[in-house]
Structure 1
Amino acid sequence: MNSEPERRRTVYVLLPAYNEEVALKALLPDLYHATDMIGARVHVIVVNDGSSDGTANADDWAPPHQRVEVISHEQNRGLAAALTTGIERVLTLSQGPDDLMVCLDADNTHPPETIPRMVARAWDGHDVVIASRYRPGSVQRGVPAFRRFLSRGARVLFRLLLPIPGVRDFTCGFRAYRVSALREIWRRTGGKVITSQGFACTDELLLKIAMITGKITEVPFTLRYDQKPGESKLQLWLTIRSQLRVIGRLRQMRREGLPQEVQRDRS
């Protein structure tokens, strides 16, 4: 039987989604079974980013006891906007000091069975737990050569220019965040948690949290790109340019430091 503190914990699972109807129909049941005995309430938030398929109906496909909330953008606004919408919702809902937000891709390439290990490491005292492609035991299945090139190149750049102790994978978006760390970033930036566009927004979020905490760790996982039902939404050269810009901007931010005082109230 779970203890009273465990029952008060909530794990928010954030799924930014654009035209992921096929993937979500497979992912949601797997997610339910992987997190059913996690020792906390689980609240799934699907941010439907202007999809033209049935993604907006994701709550209809959930298992009977799975709590799924769908938030829809009327138009496609990109990953940064979807992630921001999800974070805002989590910050509004969260009340417990041990609450977590787990973010993973909605295309069924990030296996939900990794989540219990991530959550356990977070509750061991870490503010961010990264599912890393570069830890012993990690496997990448079906990943195209250009994506391997991009992720390895980004890894080299970040380790040279913006190193974070203990971090090998800077660009994988499959992460568990302590909500209190996200709230502190919100407070210090006046709500401007993410200012980058495209896939570089996850780099920015990680580096901002690294500026206020050293409690970041990684776990190995199996990237199942072979299970992706559609084409990649990543634009190679746009992503490279965006990452280079965000590295330059965040190097300056790291030198200056984040503000200590509240910039503006969330209300």
Structure 2
Amino acid sequence: MKTDPQIETLNSGSTISVVIPVYNEETNLDELIHRCLAACRSLGRPFEVILVDDGSGDRSPMEIGEAAEQNPANIVGVFLNRNYGQHAAVMAGLAESRGDIVVTLDADLQNPPEEIPRLVQKVEEGFDVVGSIRTPRQDTLFRRLASSMINKAAQKATGVMMHDYGCMLRAYRRRIVDAMLNCHERSTFIPVLANSFARRTTEIEVHHERRSNGQSKYDVWKLINLQFDLLTSMTTFPLRLLSALGGITSAIGIGFGLFLFLMRLIHGPDWAAQGVFTLFAVLFIFIGAQFLGMGLLGEYIGRIYHDVRARPRYFVERVVGESQITRIPTGTEPEGLSWNGAQHSQRAAVIPLEEKR
């Protein structure tokens, strides 16, 4: 049997990093850590679980710190100074990761950690990115509709027909992670960004459970903001669509103007109340289109402004734990800073070697 020379498989000795963003998940952390450690140990190879506290206001930071102190060889706690959002927290965890294969996972336990070995196996078969499809979905109708919109937008932006971009349970090769860390934009949608660098992608079905503790951190406005992040950071399609809509609106306006001119010739000026209501209707259409266009342009300009300021994606306050995995530095310079203002790069820049626990 011939092997495709473009498919690069990994050996069974690959090291594993699991990155988990945490925000007010104190009720889930004990079970999450226990199940993650059990799933990773079943692989029989070096691993690390990186828990990134995204400015939680509950006991999550204390529980992460205690877990990292009790098991420093396998658990690393990364503490951000405030809440930066899920994707920024994941990027902070990716910057700390050292594994050949990196798995990302939500802390809400809706996707079971027991699925980690299956994702690792797929990456070792030669895939750069392995996504997951939640089956059956246990979310509300609103969340499913929002997820469907995000999936369609992501498919349009990347051309990669993955079915569930909203699921954070995913696996990446090291080179894909390093490529993402070298990107400097502030608005980041990680699954789409990863697919822009991947040669081979695939998906597997994973079990999806109802949230048993706590509540979802994505409200209506956060979902809307996530949609804007996706549209404006990965594609200029909305601007092209706006141009097309402007052209169509102009054509309709010209056609409507000709129609009004003909009707006035046929029925006289008394037709349609001297044309006042028609004028208002046309005016509202054009004003609405202008505000829509200005809002979209403003969104792009605002994001350009944030990128030009070049502020870091996140601030790492401290890191607890020292992984058993070693990795040769690749020159990657993540877009985050440590609490003392130093470049956040491969853990040693955050905590000097002699101070690590």
Is the contact made by 1:17 and 1:106 (CA closer than 8 Å) also made in structure 2?
A: yes
SS at match of 2:211: helix
Q: 1:76 to 1:244 in 2, by over 3 A?
A: closer
Q: Could you give the per-residue CA deviations for residues 118-164 of structure 1, whole angstroms, max 9, x where no partner exists?
A: 1000111111111212xxxx2223x2221111112222333345430
Q: Work out the CA distance in 2 between the residues paired with 1:159 and 1:246.
A: 11
Aligned to 1:60: 66
Q: 1:19 to 1:244 in 2, by over 3 A?
A: closer
TM-score by length of 1: 0.76
Is the contact made by 1:13 and 1:103 (CA closer than 8 Å) also made in structure 2?
A: yes
Write the mapping of 1:1-267 to structure 2, written as runs, cut at 5 A. Answer: 6-7=12-13, 9-56=14-61, 57-61=63-67, 67-90=74-97, 93-94=98-99, 99-133=100-134, 138-141=135-138, 143-165=139-161, 167-187=162-182, 189=183, 192=184, 195-196=186-187, 201=188, 204-227=189-212, 229-252=213-236, 266=333
Largest Rg, 1 or 2: 2
Q: Work out the CA distance in 2 between the residues paired with 1:185 and 1:221.
A: 25
Q: Work out the CA distance in 2 between the residues paired with 1:40 and 1:113.
A: 16
Gaps of 5+ in 1: 254-263
Aligned amino acid, residue 214 of structure 1: R
Q: Work out the CA distance in 1 between the residues paired with 2:198 and 2:127.
A: 9
Aligned amino acid, residue 80 of structure 1: H
Is the contact made by 2:129 and 2:198 (CA closer than 8 Å) also made in structure 1?
A: no
Is the contact made by 1:21 and 1:58 (CA closer than 8 Å) also made in structure 2?
A: no
Return the offset for 1:59: 4.9
Return the offset for 1:28: 1.1
Q: Percent identity?
A: 27
Corresponding residue pairs, total: 229
Aligned amino acid, residue 58 of structure 1: I
TM-score by length of 2: 0.58
Q: Could you give the per-residue CA deviations for residues 29-84 of structure 1, whole angstroms, max 9, x where no partner exists?
A: 11122221214212001111122222122253578697111111122222232112
Gaps of 5+ in 2: 1-10, 238-330, 334-344, 346-357
SS at match of 1:225: coil
